[in-house]
Structures are given as C-alpha cells and as structure tokens.
Structure 1
C-alpha cells in the first residue's frame, strides 16, 4: 500500500477540480487530483457539456445543409441515423482528454485514478481500477466530484428505451418519436437537437412556462421556435409512471394523459456525486440531492474540506466551475476568495440563448424605471448574409442614468454576443452606459453590430417621450 502526501488534494478532474489544482500548482504547492474514470475531464468532457454541444453543432450543420438548395442538389440523400451523427460529434472527446491531460503534466500535478473515500479529514483511501488500494494524505482537500442525472427509484433506467442525459449519448437506434420528461435547460437543448434530426418530440414541462428564469420575451421566443420546429410542448404536467416493452415506451401523466413513443429521455434534475465518498467518516452530510453546503470561502462544515462545482448546486455551469476552482485555491492559500457571481446564462438550444443581469419582470417588480432597446437579427447585414436571421439582442437600461441593467440574446452566437454587454456592465458606474454602443464603431457586417442597433432603438424610445 503506497502512501502519498500533498498540500492540496482535489477529488474530481472536471472544470472546477482542474482549475483548483492547477492554480495551486502555479504557486508552488504539492498537488494531486483523483479521477474515478480512466481518463481526466470529468462529466463535462465525457457526458455533459462537450459531447452535447458537439452533437448540437453537428445537428446545426445538418439543418443548414438541408435548408440550402445549392447543397440539396449535390448532397447525400441517405438518412442520417442518430449513431452516425453521434459518432461525428464524439470526435472532439479524445482531443479534450489530450488537452486536459497535458495541463496536469505541464503543471506537475499528480493524477491518481480510482474511487476516493474518506478515512478521516486528512486521509483518503483510493480504490484503484486494477483492484489495488492506496492511501493519500493532504492538508487541504477540495471535493469537486460533480453531478449526475437524478434517477427516481420507480423508473427502470436499465431498459433499452429509457435514457437519461448521460446514457442518451450511447443510444444505438434512431427513434422516430421521443418523449423528453423535464423542460429545464438540458431538456430544451435535447428537444431542439432531436427535432433538428427530424424526430417527433414531446417535451413535458412541470411548470407554467419554459425556463421561467429567463426574460419573458426570450422564454416566449424559445417556446415559439421549439413548436415551429415540430416539438409538442406540454406544460403543467407531472409523471405518474413509465411503462416500457420491446417496441415502445409509455408515459402516464397525473393529468390522465398517456403518451406513447419509441424512447424517453429523463431530464428532471441532477444529483451530486457524494454517495461514494464515505462522508460520514468526517462528519459531513450531503442534502437530499447529494449536494454539499459551503460558506463564502467554499468551505464545508469541516475546516479543511472544501467543495466547488456542480456538487454545491447552483449555478451548476462549467463556466462558473472554472472560476470557483481558482477562487477556492486563492482562499485556501491566503488570498481573497472571490465568490463567483453574475454568471451569464448560456443555453445551447437551436437557436441558442444567453443573458446576464436583470429581466423585465425583476425590474418591474423592483420599480426600476427602465427602457428597452432591441435589434432583430433579420435586420442585420451579417444575419442576412449568413442566413442566421432568427432572434434578437435586447438591452434593458435605466431611463435616467442610461446604465445597462440586463442583456438578453436569442439567436445565432448568442453565448458569444452577450459578453460584449457583460464587459460594459462590469465597468465602473461612469463606464456602464448604453451610450458606449452609440459612440463605438463596430466592424461591418458583424453580429456584434446588433449592440449599436439596439442602443439606437432604446435611445430613440427615450427621445420620443
């Protein structure tokens, strides 16, 4: 039984774990990472962000191909199966593994492969994949084990027609009709992907509207475009039971409806990966969804045990996890631990959505005097050239100070476009003004030019009063 001792031990090699480990290595600390897969990258690289967004990209290319009459004349008319599309999307994963492996090698971070469990607050037992066992000691430990899809006990996920957001990436057939239960971010993303492949999709939402945390206008636009692409959206529904046989799957809803399809994708929540860590050995307890509670330094109730990433719950985004990893390391080794806040929303539906700041509902509720500036992509030269003419950029700004209060974007490259507004919002009070976009020259034609158009629209609304 080998022994290892470190200044910092990170459990999990996803975005938060990687950034925490490398930040510590950069300041000369002895650091190691534990990963329970044979390769690094965590669920982000293997089951979540990277493969699903790569799949989305391939589907978007297929949609563009089918919509272009020039390519239809010479194109491949064979039916694209889901496994073929998935194989094309999966090519990015080995590249991601190589990239992130090199990060650890270059920074001299040791990577231990196996399942970690606590012996005490400074000691980890590592069950290796070959059956061996090691003991690892560390002064500080960061839990960055991520999350997995929530699986209720009464749903048989072993059945070949019942999937969650992890197992769907291994689906070996091409359903003509699929039910998606859960209309959160993941459910909406997969609804647009599958409809883009020509499948019939039933999207079951247990709330009154899609993604209610979004600005109402953006939520309405998403609902419209999903329906326009053939998705049947059913609101205020809850499941009663799921029945499956060799040829189909049926979803029974509490409303009495019974939906039948070729497959079902369960997308109703996630669970923190803490059940295998033997948290009881250190007096730590996760909540009912496996998440850990932390303070403003990302420290748990055990003074040398920290947690970051999806395992602490909201916002459960790779983008936020990278920042949390750096922040926790800074706090552990004596610098300021800056909480990751004001995280932009990035939703990779077709078309995509991104936003930051306040919504109209929030501003109205707070009685903040605001105005709206809009730029429709169909009115931009770049949108017309590229055929990306669906969507808009929406700016919310204070009527008196002209301070930008919210940026909401729906359409092509929304997740890129939003960062321009984010940068201006983060300036000092004098620098955060919609007038920036009036006095700045944008390349033409670009999608970024939408900021100038939206700013002019907003200012004109004020001047007409």
Structure 2
C-alpha cells in the first residue's frame, strides 16, 4: 500500500491547485481521477468547452457589430454547430497537455480509477481494468465536482434531448432549440446559440433572469438577449416534456402553450459527485444535491478530510474552486499566511458578457447603506465605436460619504476581464477617486472606470444629500 502526505480525489480546478500547493510545500501527493482524461468537468464538459464555444460565436457575431454584416452572415450560413465544436476539442486537448505537464513537473502521481473510503485514512481505488489498489494518506481532499441533474421524467437521449454535458458532443445542427432553465448555464447557452442564428426559446419558472445580479444589469441582459432573438418564456412551469410524432421535443407550459423545436437543452441544477466515495464508511453525510458541508477552512466533519469546488456547492465557480483547493492545502500543512477569499468576482459568459463584484444597489438599499452610483456607457467610449460595442454599461457604486468603492457591475464584451480593475480597488478598500486621479490608456474600455467615477462624483456634487441613491 502506497502512503502519501495528501491524496486528492478529482483533477478539476480545485483538485489541481490543492495538489500543486501541497507539492510546493515538499509533500508527497497523489491525485485519483476516475476519467481517462485529466481536468474534471471544468476542462472537459463545463467551463472551458462552453467558453470556447462562446468565444467562437462571439467572434462571428462581432463582425456584424463592426459593420461587416455580410461577412458575418456568410460565415453563419457556412458553419454548423458541430463545426464550432472542433475548436473546442482542440482547446481541451491543449489544456490537458498543460495540466499533465504541470502535475509531472511537481512530482504529483496520477492514479486513474474510482476512489472510495475504507476508513478515514485509506482509499480503495478501482482501476478501469478492474485492478484494485489501496492508498493511505494523512490528508485527503475531495474535489470530485458535479454533474447535471437528470430527472427521470425528462426523455434524455443525449442527441436531441441533452444536458449541458452531452450537448457539447452533439452532432446535430438545429435550426431551433428549447432551453429549460434560466440560471447561469441556461442563460449562457441561450444567448450564444441565438447569437449564432439558432432560434431559441428559454423557459424558466422564475419571472426574472439571474436575480443575484444588480437589477439594472439583469434587465439590460434580458433586453439584449431578446434583441439577439431569444424568446423568453419566464414565469412558466413546464408541465410535460415529450417527443412528438416527428421525433422532436415538445414542451407543454403552464399557460397552455406548447413549444416545439429540433432540440432541447435541460439545464436545471447540478448534483455533487459523491455516491462512489462510500462516505458512510467514515460517517460523512451529504445533502439532497450530493454536496458536502465544510467549515471556513474547507474541513468536513472529519478534520483531516477537506472538500472543495462544486462538491460543496455555492458559488461553484472554477475560479473560486482553484483558490479553495489552494487554501485547503495551506491549512492542512499549517501555512500561517494563507488568506481567505475576500471578495469574489462573478462572470457570466453570455452574449453580451456580464460580470460583477461587491454589492448591488438592491442589497445596499435593503441594508440602509447610503450610496451613490456612476455610469459609463460603452457608446461614450472611443474604443466602443472602434469595436462596435455600443450597448455595454459599466456601473460603479460607492459610499455616499466616504466614497469607498462598494460594487462594480458590467455588461458588454470583455466584462469578465474588465471587472478585475474594480476588484483590485474594492478588495483593498479604495475610493472612486482612484479612477479619477489615474491615467488609462486611450482608446480602451478601461476608461469606463474614469468616466463612471466622474459621473458619480459630479452627480453627488450637484445633489449632495439624496435619500439613499443617486
């Protein structure tokens, strides 16, 4: 039986960073991965492939914004959805090679197989050829990720009726698609497929998209998605999903409407990958979604067993998973200068992109915090006209009295990159004056920060004592 200082179960973002951090601390580390290919859901069926698909569609869609409508339309006519998947496969292959090299350089052993607990320090590993091993570890990190929820009443065939994993393997080139679920995944796919010219109907029982967003930004996203061709059926429960006589999915809605399309994508919820771990052997329980509960240091109820990433639920982002994995390893090996996650940027890779950090107007109003806002519209920026990105918006929110930055909310191309400027100022308690007193390259979209700060401060000067917001 091989013994290690740390064994990590799962090679997604959380597992990779936990393993590498432990290796950097001169620990003997192994990763157990059940799939033949490293990278977990994030690399193979989640974050990376869907964002690669979005990037390709965004490029084609952007030709129209730049006045090259004929070229964009011609490309859309020539390309099929499976054509776009080809680039996704190439990016995945390249990233797997990068991860494999990183693990090898750090001396991390990779064991391919399915892991389950024998006792709190021993894992039984069943390899794909049926061979069974056991490994012992002083510390164990569970980073097994999640998978799409697949209710029994949905007629999945992974060709016409897909979840977000199987959709990325589709060989279909639909003219129309029904997306069930208006969360982040459903919104991203609905927006990008509509931008590619596919007829999209988005169905969700909630009356508003992405309620955690600042509502001004959420409403702008809703409007732009509809302009790009997404038909919204919000506030609608789907009562029945079946296949019609032609073999196409048919959805009967609460209001009596029936929606039919070539394909259906079901994106309502995810389940933690914990059932193979034999958690009963160590006395750990999961919730109904298969997720584990951890403390602030990512420890489970068994202190030397940590859990990170999607398997612990919210926020279930690749970026936060990476940091959770690193912090778990730091805590396990008593690295005293490890800092907890302070403020998390959220990125939604829709078309257009949305990103946010800090508080929304709605949250501040509820908490009775006096605040002011400043806005910069992409149409005001020279760079916006160069790139044709005229419908975006960057909003800063700051304390009315101290001018401390409280939140940044962006919609528009490049939002997920642009947010990090605001993140730096917000994390270290800066004020909006930073944006006024510093020079930004011209022409860039980063200038939006200066314009938004000036807008907010000028309005504050002219209206010094508003009730709450300006």
TM-score normalised by structure 1 residue count: 0.96
1:48-447 map, 5 Å: 48-66=46-64, 70=68, 72=70, 78-158=77-157, 160-245=159-244, 247-336=247-336, 338-428=339-429, 432-447=430-445
CA distance in 2: counterparts of 1:100 and 1:418, whole angstroms: 26
SS in 1 for 2:275: coil
1:28 is aligned to 26
Structure 1 residue 177 displacement after superposition: 1.3
Preserved contact between residue 158 and residue 170 of structure 2 (Cα < 8 Å):
no
Structure 1 residue 449 displacement after superposition: 0.6
Q: Number of residue pairs matched? A: 460
Residue 313 to residue 70, structure 1, CA distance change in 2 (3 Å): closer
Structure 1 residue 90 displacement after superposition: 2.2
Preserved contact between residue 54 and residue 90 of structure 1 (Cα < 8 Å):
no
Structure 1 residue 314 displacement after superposition: 0.4
SS in 1 for 2:167: helix
1:455 is aligned to 453
CA distance in 2: counterparts of 1:83 and 1:47, whole angstroms: 15
CA distance in 1: counterparts of 2:462 and 2:296, whole angstroms: 46
Preserved contact between residue 113 and residue 127 of structure 2 (Cα < 8 Å):
yes
Residue 78 to residue 175, structure 1, CA distance change in 2 (3 Å): closer
Residue 252 to residue 383, structure 1, CA distance change in 2 (3 Å): same
SS in 2 for 1:183: coil
The unaligned stretches of length 5 or more in structure 1 are: none
Residue 70 to residue 259, structure 1, CA distance change in 2 (3 Å): closer
CA distance in 2: counterparts of 1:56 and 1:260, whole angstroms: 24
Preserved contact between residue 395 and residue 404 of structure 1 (Cα < 8 Å):
yes
RMSD: 1.5
Structure 1 residue 79 displacement after superposition: 2.9
Structure 1 residue 29 displacement after superposition: 0.6
Preserved contact between residue 66 and residue 387 of structure 2 (Cα < 8 Å):
no
Residue 159 to residue 244, structure 1, CA distance change in 2 (3 Å): farther
CA distance in 2: counterparts of 1:359 and 1:139, whole angstroms: 43
CA distance in 1: counterparts of 2:123 and 2:255, whole angstroms: 49
Structure 1 residue 118 displacement after superposition: 1.1
CA distance in 2: counterparts of 1:148 and 1:109, whole angstroms: 26
1:44 to 42, 45, 50: 42
CA distance in 2: counterparts of 1:364 and 1:70, whole angstroms: 43
The unaligned stretches of length 5 or more in structure 2 are: 464-470
Residue 445 to residue 68, structure 1, CA distance change in 2 (3 Å): closer
Residue 411 to residue 303, structure 1, CA distance change in 2 (3 Å): same
SS in 2 for 1:463: helix
SS in 1 for 2:31: strand
Structure 1 residue 174 displacement after superposition: 1.2
CA distance in 2: counterparts of 1:382 and 1:182, whole angstroms: 35
Residue 54 to residue 330, structure 1, CA distance change in 2 (3 Å): same
Preserved contact between residue 122 and residue 138 of structure 1 (Cα < 8 Å):
yes
CA distance in 1: counterparts of 2:50 and 2:62, whole angstroms: 18
1:13 is aligned to 11
Task: Report the more deviating stretch, 240-249 or 418-427.
Answer: 240-249
Structure 1 residue 243 displacement after superposition: 0.3
Structure 1 residue 70 displacement after superposition: 5.0
